Amino acid sequence: MRFAVTKVCGGGAKARAGMLQIAGSNIETPALLLSTRKGLPAFVSRDLLASLPLPDSLLLHVCPTHFMEGPPSKTISNVGGLHHMLGLPDHILIAAAGDSIESLPTSEASNKFGASFETPAGRRLVKPSDYMELISCMKPNLWASLADEVPAWVTEKRNKVSVERTLRWLDACIALDEDSGANTLGVVVGGSSIEQRKLCATEVSKRNVSGFWIGGLGLGDSPEERCSILNAAVGCLPPEKPRVVSRLGLPEEVLEGVASGIDLFDSTYIYQLTMGGFALIFPIDMVGKEMQNGSLNNSDGDFTKINLRATTYRKDTSRIVDSCSCFTCQNHTRAYLNHLLNVHEMLAQILLEIHNTHHYLCFFRLIRDTIKTGQFDRFRQQFVQDRRAYLAAAVI
């Protein structure tokens, strides 16, 4: 894996564009990791993945703890790893122990032996040796070390313990790794403590890791705390290695992360939108352009999305977004999706996830373009202002 920063915003800003060379593919950053359940997006099958923008859709976040209940790790290894089992030899699999759907970290049950996760099969304690056995069988392109993630409300003492455990488990994972950490992403934790975040980031950067995974966000922290945490952690990390962050999903949260210098985003935002029946509609073709077909002024959305379950779309024969080139917008109408949602047909989630994934990947492409042209700060400010103005008008 190779990573190079190709453009940094001027004026002291931290937003940057880069190039990630991995598994024979060149991925421009900032980029999105598509969340998966046992290796594939929740509603997009292997054959439908090809309909998504390339190479942006090649990055997949996989969760090793999803595979603890089967198939057996030995079976995955005998097949040749997760790439071969899924039939996705060209995709880039990035593994991390937890996610925000089926493997939630539970700090109160973690101990010195391992991290605890809430899974569909119950609470599971994962030791570094167990975790590395899964990693060695799955053979992901990159993997994040096991970490003790804690919510924002824990004490300073608990934050200190989480850092100590995470560093100890990182050393244990590297010692058990066949490649001695060559494909490892060191996890930076510390809760809401700026001091512990800086300490953890400094110590992790001393290890033989390929990049950094900033964890523990989205667990009760406020937007103000999150901004301070990101800036503190990123400030202690070397600039030549990629940085990944988890649980930042909203468009304005992504923009905040990019402004702090984050390169890759692991998010379940698309999954949550799809399950709720929402479709993304904000403009992605140019900065400040108003939405087409009146979506921006629709009371059933919030400037970024619309609720296709609403009765107002029952006879709406327009596309979700007129200018969108995804399979859903090219072949189906809002009225059809409204019908599918209200009769509880699973095709609704399939079509919605295709559109939302396509739209969000194009959003990341727009972010990269604004960084390259030096317009990122202007774009970010305008996007946030438009959203706040819309919400204020909706309240009135």
Three-point CA angle 215, 349, 52, nearest 5°: 70
Q: How far is CA 154 from CA 28, 204, 343, in A?
A: 37, 22, 44
Structure tokens at 336: 């059809």
Structure tokens at 82: 């997760």
Q: How far apart are CA 198 and CA 234, in angstroms?
A: 9
Q: Of 1, 31, 10, which is closest to residue 373 (Cα–Cα)? A: 10
CB atoms near residue 111 (< 10 Å): 13
φ/ψ region of 250 (left if φ > 0, alpha if ψ in -120 to 50, else beta) reads beta
9 assigned ligand-binding residue: no
User: Do the Cβ atoms of 245 and 261 come closer than 8 Å?
Assistant: no
344 assigned ligand-binding residue: no
CB atoms near residue 138 (< 10 Å): 21
In whole angstroms, how large is the CA radius of gyration of the chain?
A: 21
Amino acid at 118: E
Q: How far is CA 252 from CA 94, 258, 261, 367, 375, in A?
A: 24, 10, 14, 12, 16
Q: How far apart are CA 333 and CA 311, in angstroms?
A: 14
Q: How far apart are CA 161 and CA 193, in angstroms?
A: 12
Burial 359-369 (b: 16+ CB within 10 A, else e): bbbbbbbbbbb
Three-state DSSP state, 125: strand
Q: Of 30, 57, 54, which is closest to residue 41 (Cα–Cα)? A: 57
Residue 213's Cβ-side half-sphere holds a number of Cα atoms within 13 Å equal to: 31
Residues tagged in the binding site annotation for Zn(2+): 324, 326, 329, 355
Residue numbering of the annotated binding site = 324, 326, 329, 355
